[in-house]
Amino acid sequence: MANKIRQVKGMPPVLPESTPNWQYVESKFRHLLQSSGYAEIRMPLLEHTELFKRSIGEVTDIVEKEMYTFDDLNGKSLTLRPEGTAGCVRTAIDNGLLHNQKQRLWYAGPMFRHENTQAGRYRQFHQIGVEAFGFADTDIELEHLVLVSRLWKELGLANMTLELNTLGTSEERLQYKKILVDYFQQQQDLLDEDSIRRLGSNPLRILDSKNPQMAELIGNAPVLLDHLGEESTGKFNRLLALLDKLQIAYTVNTRLVRGLDYYCHTVYEWTTNELGAQSAVCAGGRFDGLVEQLGGRAGTAVGFAMGIERLIMLLEKQNSLPEPERPDIYLVMLGDQAQETGFVIAETLRDAIANIRVIINCGGGNMKAQIKRADKSGAELALFLGEDEVNSGQISIKYLREEGKQIKIDQQKLVEFIRKHISQRTG
Ligand code: ATP
Ligand code: MG
C-alpha cells in the first residue's frame, strides 16, 4: 500500500457525525439574520495581499506572521483570507454596493491563519460575520449586539460575557497616542520586545499585549476613555444606556483595543471562561475609515465576526446541541420486483408528505442484513416488501423502536397511514 497523505496541520475536516451541529448553528444564524433584513454575500477566498496589508495593518499579528501568502503563476502576490471584513468591503466597493446606499450583509466560511494549533485555534477555521454600511449612529451597533445576544438565547448558550470599549475618532486617538507613547517611553526598560517595536508604529496595540509581565505597566497606563471629547463619550454612553434598557449585561474594558487597525468608536468582544485561552467567541465594532482607505468614497461601516468552531465547542460543553434527526422510514426490499415497487412507493411518499425522511436500502442483502441496516439508521419504521407483499399489493410495517410490533396493510393505504404516524409523532 502507498503511504497515506495526511491532512495539513491545523486544517481539520468537519466529519459527518459533526455536520448536523454545524448546520444547526448556521441555520439558526441564517434565519435570525435573514429575518432582520440582512442579505448574504459570498466573497472569494483569495485576495491580493495588498488588501490585507492596507486594511488589517502591517503591524498586526495577522499580517506580520499569520498569513498564507504566495505568488501565483503570474507572479502576483495573493493571500488566503485571514478574515472576512477586508474582502467584504473590497467586494462591496467593486460592485457599487456602497454609494448612497445602506447595506446589511452577512457571510460565512473558512478563514486561514498560520497560528499555533491547539483546541479552539486552527489554521483553517470558520467565521460567521455581519457588516453594515451607511449607518452613522450607534443604533446599528445596538442592533448587532441585540442580534448576537438573541443568538446566544436561541442556542441556549449561557455565561457569555460582553466587554465593550470606545476608541473615539482618529483625531482623538492621535492625541491619546502621544500621551500613551510618552508614558511608555518613560518606562522603556519594562517593555517587552513586541511592545518596543509597536511603540513606534502602533502603540495602542501594546494595550492588547497578553504578556503577564506587561500587565502592571498596562494597568497603570493612561486610559483612552478619559481623553475623548464629549461627542464620542456621549455616543458611547447612549449605547450603554440602551443596552441597560434591553437588559444586555456588559462590562466596560478600557484596555480593549482589538487586534486590527481599522476600528474606531465602538469595539467589543463576547468571551467565555469555558474554553481556556481561546476565550474570544465573537468580536466586532465600528470601522468607518476602512471604506475610504480601500479606495471607496468615505462611508461608515460596522460589523462583527464569530468563530464557529469555538461556538460549537461551547455548545458541546454546555450540552446544548440538539439530538440528530432520525429518519422516519427505512425501506427493505427483497428481489427485483420488490425493488421496482419499492422505489415507486418511496417517491409516492416523498410527493405526498413534505419533509418525510425515507432511506431506501441500496446494495441488496438478505432480510436480516437489511433489517440490521434499518435499525442502525435510527429509523422509526421499516417498510418491508418481499415476494408475498408484491403479489398481494400489500406492504409490511415493522416498528423498529417497539419490540416485535409488525403489521401488514394495502399499499394503497400507505400514504394515509404514514401521514398519521408522522403527525402523531410530531404533533
Ligand atoms: P484570538 O484573540 O483568540 O486570537 P482574534 O482576536 O484573533 O482571536 P478575530 O480576528 O476577532 O479573533 O476573529 C473573530 C473570531 O474568530 C474570534 O473571536 C474567534 O472566535 C475566531 N477565531 C479567530 N482566530 C481563530 C483560529 N485560529 N481558530 C479558530 N477560531 C478563531
Ligand atoms: Mg488571533
Q: Does a structural domain hold residue 353? A: yes
Tell me which of 259, 289, 317 is where a domain ends: 317
Phi/psi at 258 (5° precision) = 70, 150
113 lines ligand 1 (CB under 6 A): yes
Q: Is residue 187 domain-resident?
A: no
Buried b (16+ CB within 10 A) or exposed e, 339-351: bebbeebbeebee
Q: Verify whether ligand 1 is closer than 6 Å to residue 203 (CB atom).
A: no
pLDDT in tens, 122-160: 999 999 999 999 999 999 999 999 999 999 999 999 999
Residue 107 pairs with which residues in a beta bridge?
129
Q: How far is the CA of 65 from the centre of ligand 2 (A)?
A: 11
> If you take atom 22 of ligand 1, which residue's CA is the nearest one?
307
Mark whether 250 and 355 lie in a shared domain: no
Q: Do 245 and 370 belong to one domain?
A: no
pTM metric for this prediction: 0.92
Residues 309 and 336 grouped into a single domain: no
Q: Same structural domain for residues 297 and 335?
A: no
Least trusted range by pLDDT, from 174-178, 307-311, 326-330: 174-178
pLDDT tier at 405, thresholds 50, 70, 90: confident
Atom of ligand 1 at shortest range from CA of 260: 10
Residue 197 domain flag? no
Residue ranges making up the domain that contains 42: 19-168+228-317
254 and 150 inside one domain = yes
Residue 272: per-residue pLDDT:
96
Residue nearest to atom 7 of ligand 1 (CA): 259
Q: 106 lies in a domain? A: yes
Ligand 1 atom with the smallest distance to the CA of 129 is 14
Q: What is the pLDDT of residue 427?
A: 55
Number of domains in the chain: 2
- pLDDT band at 258; cut points 50, 70, 90: confident
- Answer yes or no: is the C-beta of 307 below 6 A from any ligand 1 atom: yes
**Residues 260, 363: one domain?**
no
Res. 389: pLDDT tops 70: yes
Polymer length of the chain:
427
Nearest CA to ligand 1 atom 11: 283
Classify residue 155: in a domain, yes or no. Answer: yes
CA of 108 to the centre of ligand 1 (A): 14
For residues 118 and 237, membership in a common domain is answered with: yes
Query: 280 CB less than 6 Å from ligand 1?
Result: yes
Q: Tell me if 278 is assigned to some domain.
A: yes
Domain termination residue (choose one: 297, 317, 337): 317
Do 313 and 333 lie in one domain? The reply is no
The answer to the question of residue 190 being in a domain is no
Q: pLDDT for 368-383, tens place per residue?
A: 999 999 999 999 999 9
> Within this chain, do residues 369 and 290 fall inside the same structural domain, yes or no?
no
What pLDDT score was predicted for residue 194? Answer: 86
What's the pLDDT score for residue 378? Answer: 95
CATH of the domain at 333: 3.40.50.800
Rounded distance from Cα 82 to ligand 1 centre (Å) = 10
Shared domain check, 378 and 239: no
Chosen domain end from 317, 339, 354: 317
What residue's CA is closest to ligand 1, atom 16? 307
Question: Is 146 in the same domain as 268?
Answer: yes
The verdict on the CB of residue 208 being under 6 Å from ligand 1 is: no
Are 387 and 251 part of one and the same domain? no
Q: Kindly report the CATH number assigned to the domain that includes residue 239.
A: 3.30.930.10
| Residue 295 counted as domain residue | yes
What integer best gives the mean pLDDT of the chain?
94
Q: What is the pLDDT of residue 260?
A: 67
CB-based contact 383:332 (threshold 8 Å): yes
| Closest approach atom of ligand 1 to CA 311 | 20
Model confidence pLDDT, tens digit, residues 200-239: 888 888 988 888 999 999 999 999 999 999 999 999 999 9
Confidence tier at 312 by pLDDT (50, 70, 90): very high
